[in-house]
Amino acid sequence: MMKTVIVADDHVLIRKASIEILARIPKTKVVAEAVDGLDAITQARKFKPDMLVLDEAMPLAKGIEVLAEVQRWCPETRIVMMTGLTSQNLLADYMAQNVHGILLKSCDSEEIQRCFETVLAGHKYAADEVRRILKEGLETKKLSAREGEVLSLVATGASNAEIAERLGISIKTVEKHRASLMGKLGVRSLAELLAFALREGYLDAQKQL
């Protein structure tokens, strides 16, 4: 059975390169091209393709916006996100949004083809460099035992003074740990720190302290 694909990228050379790679894959047909985000949404709703190759940064609607609309209107369409950006947070966001493939525009044609074939076969694929970047991010966020204890208590809403008393350390040391946590986790407010703690299960960990 023929697999249908839409390629959405505002850069014509990249768009054509993706189409050339797709032409190597048997029983695969490019049914449309899109040059901006709104065009990508329109074409996806029209054709409901098996796969959408989507540029992360296009005019009129960004990749993340297109992603949400396509997932809404074409839930069976598998999406490969292509980006020239290497931000850990951005790549992690795409993983969280359940895209089926993530490629960097610096990937060679062999890896791009491997990704397309993998996604069309019903599996997920992240480029080698994407996995490396995300792994580095996880290693950077690895907390020390003491930082984990502080974060677990922060998750309960404990004040610096209460944390200091509970752990037998000074308030200044608690403040130092909290500042270190926020820098290491890339959060800018107590609310974001609390959200991370709850999401990663540090509230449950507090029960063991």
Residue 84: CB partners within 8 Å, gap ≥ 6? 56, 57, 104, 105, 106
Half-sphere exposure of 39 (CA within 13 A, CB side): 14
- φ, ψ of residue 27 to 5 degrees: the values are 55, 40
Domain finish residue from 137, 163, 195: 137
Residue-level pLDDT at 152? 82
Position 138 scores a pLDDT of 55
| Residue burial 95-110, b: 16+ Cβ < 10 Å; e: rest | eeeebbbbbbeebeee
What is residue 158's predicted lDDT score, i.e. its pLDDT? 81
Final residue in a domain of this structure, among 137, 158, 173: 137
Both 121 and 183 in one domain: the answer is: no
Q: What is the CATH number of the domain that holds 160?
A: 1.10.10.10
pLDDT recorded at residue 98: 78
93/152 same-domain check:
no
Domain count, the chain: 2
- Do 130 and 167 belong to one domain? no
The verdict on 133 and 148 lying in the same domain is no
Q: What is the mean pLDDT of each run of 10 residues along the chain (209 residues)?
A: 96 95 97 97 97 94 91 96 81 79 93 96 90 68 78 81 92 89 77 70 48
Spell out the residues 6+ positions from residue 164 whose beta carbon is closer than 8 angstroms to its own.
Answer: 170, 171, 173, 174
Q: What domain range is 118 assigned to?
A: 3-137
CB 31 within 8 A of CB 6: yes
Same domain, 149 and 61: no
Q: If we measure between CA atoms, which residue out of 90, 75, 77 comes closest to residue 34?
A: 77
The domain that holds 126 is classified in CATH as: 3.40.50.2300
